[in-house]
Amino acid sequence: IVAVEAMSFLGAPSPLATAVIIRRGSPPPLLSMDLPPPPYTTDKTIFLNSQAQFSACGQRASLGMTWTLQDRVGTLVLAGSGSTLKINPGILKAGETYRAKLVARLTGSDLSSTALRSFKVAESNLVAAVAGGLRAVSRSNALLTLDASPSYDPDAC
C-alpha cells in the first residue's frame, strides 16, 4: 500500500491518497506439441516433443509436464512425463485416431498450460506372396493352383 499526501505552496495539505500495488506471478508459458510428419504406422516409434515459451516480462520457472494419450473413445493408452513422449511400436492400432494431451504446471503454482493434438494411424498395405517362388510353369489347358498362404496383413495380430 502506498499513501501520498501533498502540500500546496500555501501549506494546505491535500487529502490522503492511497493505492494498492499487487505483484502478480508469472503467467503460464505457451505450449506447443510437435509431431513428426505422417504417415503414422503401428511398426514405427513416434516421438511427441514439447516446447514451452515463457512471457518476456515474466520469470522463468521450472515446469512439470505430464502427457496422456487416449483413443477416440477416451480410453487411456499411454501416460508419461517430461518434455517428450515416446510411443513404442505395437502400442497403437491401425486405422485408429488418437488424442495427445500435454499439461505443463509451473512448480509451486496452480497455473498450468495445455496443448492438444490428434493424429490418425495409417493402415498398412497387405503383403501378397505366392508360395513356391516368383514363377510357375503350366500347360495352357492344365489347372494352375497358386498358394497365397504366405500373404498376410501387417496390422493383424
pLDDT recorded at residue 26:
66
State the pLDDT at residue 22: 62
pLDDT of residue 135: 79
Q: What is the rounded (10 degree) CA torsion for 109, 113, 48, 75?
A: 100
pLDDT in tens, 48-80: 999 988 877 766 678 899 999 999 999 999 999
Confidence of residue 4 (pLDDT cuts 50, 70, 90): confident
Report the alpha-carbon distance of residue 119 to residue 98 in Å, rounded.
6
Backbone φ and ψ for 144, nearest 5 degrees, come out as -110, 125
Distances, alpha carbon 117 to alpha carbons 94, 142, 144, in Å: 18, 58, 52
How far apart (Å, rounded) are the C-alpha atoms in residues 50 and 138?
Answer: 60
Whether 12 shows a pLDDT value over 70: the answer reads: yes
